[in-house]
Amino acid sequence: MKVGVVQFKASTNKETNLKTILDFISKAAQNKATLVAFPEFMMFYTNSSQSPAQLASLAEKLTGNFVKTIAKAARKHHIHVIGSFYEKSTKKDRVYDTAFVIDKTGKIISTYRKIHLYDALGFRESDKMISGSRITLPVNTSIGKVGMMICYDLRFPEMSRSLAASGSEVLVVPSAWVKGDMKEEHWLTLNKTRAIENGCYVIAPDQVGNIYCGRSVVVDPYGKILLDMKKKQGIGYADIKLEKIKKIRKILPLLKNRRTDVYPNLKV
C-alpha cells in the first residue's frame, strides 16, 4: 500500500493552510496513495506572542469547518487522511491538540487528543493546551491497523508499546519537532527505535520552517528509513507491506518475548 507523507511550513492563516492541505490530498490521490498523513499544527502556526485566549478563539470543534472540509476532500478523492487540529475544550483559554483519521468515505473513524504536552526544553504547551486522558485504540485503515501518537509522545516508549500490544501495525505520529541542540538526532533515533522495538512501521510527518526541523520519515519494522524528506516542502511516498511486519515479528518476536509477569511494581 502506498502512503503519502506531507511536509510543509504552515502559515498563521487557517484558510491559507486549508487550501494547501486540500491540494496535497488531491495530489496524493492522483499519485495512487491510499492514505496521506499530515504534520501536527497543520491548522496554523502558533507563534510565541499568540495568547492562550487568541489560540482558543481560533480553535474549532470536530464538527467545524476545518475537519469537515478535509473529510469532504477525503470522500471526493477516495483516500484516507490523517491530520491534526486545535480542538476547542471546555476549559477556558485551553485547547486540545487532536489528531484524526478519516476514511475513504469521509467518515471520521478515530480521534486522539495528545496526552504528553511539551513542557520541556524551554517550552510549556500546557500554558495554552489541555492534555487528553487516554490512548486511542488502533483503527483499521487502508495501510493496516494504525495507532496514533503526536510528536512529544515519541519520547515515552510505554505509549507505543501499549499501541503495538493492542494490535497496531503502523504508528502514525503527526509532529512539529522543534529545532535545537541534538534535536534532529533525537527525532531520527526515536522514530527508528519505536519501529524496531515494536516491529511496526512508523510514519512521522513533520513541520518544516518556522521553529521546526523537518525530516519527515517513514521507518520500516527493522529500522530502515524508507523516506526522509530532509528540509523540503512537499509530499513524499513510501510503500507499506504488512507481510514485512509479520516476517519481522516472527524472526524478532519482541512482543511475544516480553516478561510482563516480571516487569511491574519493582520494590526498592
Catalytic residues: 40, 114, 151
**In Å, how far are 11, 12, 88, 191 from 41, measured between CA atoms?**
10, 10, 14, 19
Residue closest to 238 by CA, chosen among 195, 184, 183, 207: 195
CA distance 94 to 92: 6
CA distance 242 to 219: 13
CA distance 106 to 132: 24
Residue positions counted in the chain: 268
Give per-residue burial for 11-49: e unless 16+ CB within 10 Å, then b: eeebeebbebbbebbebbbeeebbbbbbbbbbbbbbeee
Cell numbers 494547501 correspond to 20
Q: How many CB atoms lie within 10 A of CB 210?
A: 16
Cell numbers 501518537 correspond to 149
**Grid cell listed for 203:** 510514519
